[in-house]
Structure 1
Amino acid sequence: MASHILNSLVWHSVLAIAIITTLCSPTLISCAKHTKMAGLSMNVIDECWRLNPDWRKHRTQLATCSVGYAGKMINNIGNDLLHYKVTDPSDDPITPKPGTLRYGASVIQAKVWITFKSDMLITLQRPLLISSFTAIDARGVNVHIAHNACLMIFKATNIIIHGLRVHHCRSQPAGMVMGPEGKVITVGQVDGDAIRLVTASKVWIDHNTLYNCPDGLLDVTRGSTDVTVSNNWFREQNKVMLLGHDDGYVRDQNMKVTVVYNHFGPNCNQRMPRIRHGYAHVANNLYQGWGQYAIGGSMEPSLKSERNLFIAPTSGSKEVTWRKESNGSGGIWEFHSVGDVFENGAYFTETDGGRVPKPHYNMQQIFKVADATAVRSLTRSSGALRCTKTSRC
Structure 2
Amino acid sequence: MISGNITFSYWHFALNIIIIGILFSNFSVAKQSKIHELKMNVIDQCWRLNPKWRIQRPQLATCSIGYAGKMINNIGEDLVHYKVIDPSDDPINPKPGTLRYGASVIQGKVWITFQRDMHIKLERPLLISSFTTIDGRGVNVDIAKNACLMVFKATNIIIHGIRIHDCKPQTPGVTMGPEGKVISLGHVDGDAIRLVTASKIWIDHNTLYNCQDGLLDVTRGSTDVTISNNWFRNQDKVMLLGHDDGYVRDQNMKVTVVYNHFGPNCNQRMPRIRHGYAHVVNNLYLGWLQYAIGGSMRPSLKSEANLFIAPTRGNKEVTWRKNNNTNGDAWEFHSVKDAFENGASFTVTKGGRVPKPNYNEEQRFKVVDVKYVRSLTRSSGILRCTKTSLCG
Whether these two folds match at TM > 0.5 is: yes
TM class, shorter-chain normalised?
over 0.9
* Cα deviations by residue, 1:156-176 (Å, 9 ceiling, x for unpaired): 000000000000011110000
Where 2:214 maps in the other structure, the secondary structure is: coil
Spell out the pairing of 1:227-376 with structure 2 (5 A cutoff).
Answer: 227-376=225-374
User: Is residue 297–residue 327 contact of structure 2 (8 Å, CA) maintained in 1?
Assistant: no
TM-score (norm 2): 0.92
Amino acid at match of 1:306: E
Residue equivalent to 1:173:
171
> Residue 327 of structure 1: CA displacement?
3.6
> Residue 191 of structure 1: CA displacement?
1.0
Q: Provide the C-alpha distance between the structure 2 equivalents of 1:6 and 1:71, rounded to a whole number of angstroms.
A: 38
> Residue 331 of structure 1: CA displacement?
4.4
* Cα deviations by residue, 1:14-68 (Å, 9 ceiling, x for unpaired): xxxxxx7xxxxxxxx4xxx534346971000000000111111110000000000
Residue equivalent to 1:110:
108
User: Is residue 308–residue 372 contact of structure 1 (8 Å, CA) maintained in 2?
Assistant: yes
Amino acid at match of 1:332: A
Counting matched residue pairs gives 373
Amino acid at match of 1:243: L
- Once the two structures are aligned, what percentage of the paired residues are identical? 77
Q: Provide the C-alpha distance between the structure 2 equivalents of 1:163 and 1:85, rounded to a whole number of angstroms.
A: 15
Q: Provide the C-alpha distance between the structure 2 equivalents of 1:298 and 1:259, rounded to a whole number of angstroms.
A: 18
TM-score (norm 1): 0.92
Where 1:337 maps in the other structure, the secondary structure is: strand
Residue equivalent to 1:120:
118
User: Is residue 38–residue 376 contact of structure 2 (8 Å, CA) maintained in 1?
Assistant: no
* Cα deviations by residue, 1:155-201 (Å, 9 ceiling, x for unpaired): 00000000000000111100000000000001111110000000000
Amino acid at match of 1:138: G
The structure 2 residue matched to 1:95, chosen from 89, 93, 96, is: 93
Residue equivalent to 1:24:
none
Q: Provide the C-alpha distance between the structure 2 equivalents of 1:90 and 1:8, rounded to a whole number of angstroms.
A: 53
Amino acid at match of 2:155: T
User: Is residue 299–residue 325 contact of structure 1 (8 Å, CA) maintained in 2?
Assistant: no
Q: Provide the C-alpha distance between the structure 1 equivalents of 2:27 and 2:181, rounded to a whole number of angstroms.
A: 55
Query: Which structure has the larger Rg over C-alpha atoms?
Result: 2
Spell out the pairing of 1:122-201 with structure 2 (5 A cutoff).
Answer: 122-201=120-199
Structure 1 position 67 matched with structure 2 position 62: no
Task: Go from structure 1 to structure 2 and tell me whether the alpha carbon gap of 1:302 and 1:118 turns closer, same or farther (over 3 Å shift).
Answer: same
> Residue 325 of structure 1: CA displacement?
2.6
Let me know the Cα RMSD of the aligned residues. Answer: 1.7
Q: Provide the C-alpha distance between the structure 1 equivalents of 2:262 and 2:275, rounded to a whole number of angstroms.
A: 23
Unpaired stretches in structure 1, ≥5 consecutive residues: 11-19, 21-28
Q: Provide the C-alpha distance between the structure 2 equivalents of 1:329 and 1:207, rounded to a whole number of angstroms.
A: 37
Q: Provide the C-alpha distance between the structure 1 equivalents of 2:236 and 2:271, rounded to a whole number of angstroms.
A: 12
Q: Provide the C-alpha distance between the structure 2 equivalents of 1:146 and 1:343, rounded to a whole number of angstroms.
A: 34
Unpaired stretches in structure 2, ≥5 consecutive residues: 1-17
Where 1:62 maps in the other structure, the secondary structure is: helix
Amino acid at match of 1:140: G
> Residue 230 of structure 1: CA displacement?
0.1
> Residue 390 of structure 1: CA displacement?
1.8
Q: Provide the C-alpha distance between the structure 2 equivalents of 1:290 and 1:124, rounded to a whole number of angstroms.
A: 31
Q: Provide the C-alpha distance between the structure 2 equivalents of 1:221 and 1:282, rounded to a whole number of angstroms.
A: 18
Task: Go from structure 1 to structure 2 and tell me whether the alpha carbon gap of 1:154 and 1:336 turns closer, same or farther (over 3 Å shift).
Answer: same
Residue equivalent to 1:44:
42
User: Is residue 35–residue 42 contact of structure 1 (8 Å, CA) maintained in 2?
Assistant: no
